[in-house]
């Protein structure tokens, strides 16, 4: 059974879909895409069937996939901060408990599809959907230090973490105020 989704944007052989439910048939493609993160961020960055179920199939999440010629080449998942209550850092977020913030849990485009605007389109669709949610005022996330300075909009770097999730890399936690 294929995943249940709605096409949000398309241009020729490229399309972005909002996922309502991810089914087992697409798990391998999602895991394959996540493996492009392993070299830089380690094994913890790779999706598992369990994390796919937990984050993609959660009723309050905002999961989108990018397809090129029907192959999944990328994804972005936003989840409410409150769904990350097991993470120690989340309780220090000033908006935790206010139910007004979507955390960008994962955002990736396969290496061979980078630098052609696909990632930018995927992020734009994600932000547009988040802005349409009445209760959501902010989108946050962790990115490599310095990356958020490339973002447009009202961005604030809230904190930095020297060794994010054991990657040995310095990350920054950013907050984007939605319009």
Return the C-alpha torsion angle 139, 140, 144, 147, nearest 10. Answer: 40
Closest CA to 19 of 71, 78, 89: 78
| pTM, rounded to two decimals | 0.90
pLDDT in tens, 68-99: 998 999 999 999 999 999 888 898 899 999 99
The predicted model gives 34-42 an average pLDDT of 84
Report, as an integer, the average pLDDT of 93-115. 93
């Amino acid at each position: 059974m294929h995943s249940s989704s709605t096409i949000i944007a398309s241009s020729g052989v490229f399309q972005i879909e909002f996922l309502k439910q991810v089914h087992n048939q697409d798990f391998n493609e999602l895991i394959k895409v996540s493996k492009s993160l392993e070299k830089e961020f380690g094994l913890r960055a790779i999706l598992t069937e369990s994390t796919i179920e937990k984050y993609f199939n959660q009723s309050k999440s905002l999961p989108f996939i990018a397809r090129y010629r029907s192959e999944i080449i990328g994804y972005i998942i936003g989840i409410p901060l409150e769904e990350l209550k097991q993470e120690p850092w989340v309780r220090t977020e000033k908006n935790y408990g206010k139910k007004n913030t979507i955390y960008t849990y994962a955002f990736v485009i396969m290496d061979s599809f980078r630098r052609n605007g696909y990632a930018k389109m995927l992020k734009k669709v994600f932000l547009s959907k988040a802005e349409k949610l009445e209760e959501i005022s902010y989108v946050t996330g962790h990115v490599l230090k310095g990356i958020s300075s490339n973002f447009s909009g009202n961005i604030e770097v809230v904190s930095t973490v020297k060794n994010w999730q054991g990657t040995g890399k310095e990350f920054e936690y950013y907050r984007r105020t939605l319009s």
